[in-house]
Amino acid sequence: MQATQVKITNLTKMMGSNTALKNVNAVFEPACVHGVIGPNGAGKTTLMRLLAGLLKPTEGKIEYYCGGVLADSKSAKSATGYFPQEPSLYPDLSCDEHLEFFRALYGVNAEDFKQRREALYSATAMGAFRARPAGKLSGGMYKKLGLMCVLLNRPSLLLLDEPTVGVDPLSRRQLWDLIYKFAADNMTVIVSTSYMDEAERCFKVHVLEEGNLLACGAPAQVMAEFKVDNFADIFLRGGDKK
């Protein structure tokens, strides 16, 4: 599996009379973790849904490359795993039953499924809860089960829309550990978050505010560009680089 590179050019998205994204240009390099950083209403979820193919751009284009070769939309979508803010799990199904359901959905063969299932249980420390219904999991465990289901297919592009919202600090750390454990397996990961401290966990950050892309680059580079010591100060100053 080769990681996917994503290029967006002059991307604009209108939501009714509101401009959710305004002429955004960015490159998401393959095989690393990218952060889409911004406060609520910045346009993060709109961008993630566009990248997942759930929305269509009003203007501009999104291109996906695998091994440097432009992929068609069908191939790109089949290689993409999307984790929404609120994963939709079945409250009466156990963790094992969810994984079996997604195995059938993705068409994973029995031998690969067994190996992947055990690796995911080990990585998430969820093995003791195989038989527990999703509706009886804590918030952090619920998010981990949702992420396990997405990772089962080993996507080459993983889109995570604010995966750590509403979970406790320990679960946040465990989710990030899980992201990096699987990102190392030749996967491009794009994570959106409004937690400013999470920006520094990313290889590259893309800073959004009110639909505008303010900056892209390594976290230290972006903070130096804005002359700040943390990402929260970028938004407290209204995106002013002076």
Cα–Cα dist 14/36, whole Å: 19
Do 34 and 98 belong to one domain? no
- Predicted pLDDT of residue 1: 64
Nearest 5°: the CA angle 163, 165, 166 is 130
Do 145 and 163 belong to one domain? no
Beta strands 212-217; 59-66: pairing state:
unpaired
23 Cβ partners below 8 Å, 6+ apart?
Answer: 10, 11, 12, 59, 60
Do 165 and 233 belong to one domain? yes
Q: For residues 107, 110, 115 and 121, what is the CA-based torsion angle, rounded to 10 degrees?
A: 70
Do 5 and 47 belong to one domain? yes
Do 116 and 171 belong to one domain? no
pLDDT at 237 over 90: no
Do 190 and 144 belong to one domain? no
CATH number for the domain spanning 12: value is 3.40.50.300
Do 8 and 124 belong to one domain? no
Do 100 and 148 belong to one domain? yes
Last residue of a domain, one of 154, 171, 202: 154
Do 140 and 165 belong to one domain? no
- Predicted pLDDT of residue 242: 63
pLDDT at 215 over 90: yes
Do 33 and 136 belong to one domain? no
Do 130 and 159 belong to one domain? no
Q: Which two tokens stand for residue 220?
A: 């230290």
The structural domain count of the chain equals 2
pLDDT at 230 over 70: yes
pLDDT at 175 over 90: no
Do 150 and 166 belong to one domain? no
Last residue of a domain, one of 121, 154, 187: 154
Domain that holds residue 142: 88-154
| Segment 185-201, tens digit of pLDDT | 689 999 999 999 999 99
Nearest 5°: the CA angle 184, 190, 191 is 105
